[in-house]
Amino acid sequence: MDLRPRAVRDLLAHLGRLPGVGPRSARRLVEYLLTCPEEEVEAFAQSLARLRGSVRLCSTCFLLTEEDPCPVCADPGRDRTTILVVEDPTTAWSVEGTGEYRGLYHALLGHLSPLHGVGPEDLTIERLLERVGEGGVREVILATNPTVEGETTALFIARRLEPLGVEVSRPASGIPVGGEVGSVDQVTLAQALQLRRQV
């Protein structure tokens, strides 16, 4: 007989679907939520509701934002001659944390993966080419993940950028092959950006 109340079972099922949360972690989270002050649970629930209601993609660079354009695109103090291309919008959070990059961003919203049916039209590559084609951009840093798919995506974009006459670079070594840019520590990421290489 399952002694857990239905509300507990439902929450465990939802938490178990989150990346990196197994049954044991889900149980610990539920136990915490059952014993913490009620106001904290209510604030947590409101944060979850606001997350989907107020966060959207910037129409220019596709970073996650509550305003459109996002704070980076709207900031006149940013270096508008450089665009750093990432696969996922959340990777920009790690890059900003280094304090080393002052240019603009562009999130692809994924990577090329023919085996999974993801082609160039499924990403924001065309919008990136439009932004570069509008003029003013001198360098595009392709900070896709150092995986087979990430490297393939970077190579595809580099070839598409060739006729536009901009410098194309990749972050330097220090990011492990098969890893994700967003999970690299800030010191390594800062060095990789400083020592980037041309493609």
Residues 18 and 98 in one domain: no
Answer whether residue 187 shows pLDDT above 60: no
Flag whether 1 is in a domain: no
Name the amino acid, one letter, at 150.
Answer: G
Contact 123, 110 (CB under 8 A): yes
pLDDT in tens, 98-112: 898 999 999 999 999
186 and 147: one domain?
Answer: yes
- Same structural domain, 138 and 194: yes
Mark whether 11 and 93 lie in a shared domain.
Answer: no
pLDDT at residue 172, rounded to an integer: 67
**Hunting for tokens 């800062």 — which residue is that?**
190
Tens digits of residue pLDDT in 111-138: 999 999 999 999 999 999 999 999 999 9
Mean pLDDT of the chain: 90
pTM here is 0.78
DSSP reduced 3-state for 25 = helix
Q: Provide the domain count of the chain.
A: 2
The answer on 116 and 163 residing in a single domain is yes
Same domain membership, residue 177 and residue 85: yes
Residue 87 lies in a domain: yes
Compute the chain's Rg from CA coordinates.
20
> Is 59 a member of any domain?
no
For 74, the 3-state DSSP assignment is: helix
Same domain, residue pair 147 and 116: yes
Q: Quote the domain boundaries for residue 29.
A: 6-54
Kindly report, residue by residue over 23-53, the tens digit of the pLDDT.
999 999 999 999 999 999 999 999 998 988 8
- What b/e sequence results for 131-155 when a residue is b if at least 16 CB atoms lie within 10 Å of its CB, and e otherwise? bbeeeebebbbbbbbbbebbbebbe
